Amino acid sequence: MALLPVVNEGTTHVVQVSFTDEDGAAFTPEEVAARVDNVATGAEVRGWTAETPAQSLDIEITPAENA
């Protein structure tokens, strides 16, 4: 299980994501979508948003979303 980083309220945070197959080799998925939820409350902060498929990508959480 991954540990969640501590992020100060009202700051930008970038989540780095990479994709690997079952053998651990990097690959590019056909589709990627991301959603941001408040971990403490379970409330949706940003609904499902299509991302450009790539082997890795950065998902930025804005200060307004991290309020």
Q: How far is CA 41 from the centre of its chain?
A: 17
Residue 2: pLDDT band with limits 50, 70, 90 = low
Compute the distance between CA of residue 30 and CA of residue 44 in angstroms, rounded to an integer: 25
pLDDT at position 64, please? 95
At 34, which amino acid appears?
A: A
- Predicted structure pTM score: 0.77
Q: Which helix (H) or strand (E) holds 46?
A: strand 44-51
pLDDT in tens, 9-63: 999 999 999 999 999 999 999 999 999 998 889 999 999 999 999 999 999 999 9
Residues 6+ apart with CB under 8 A from 53: 28, 29, 30, 31, 32
pLDDT at position 47, please? 97
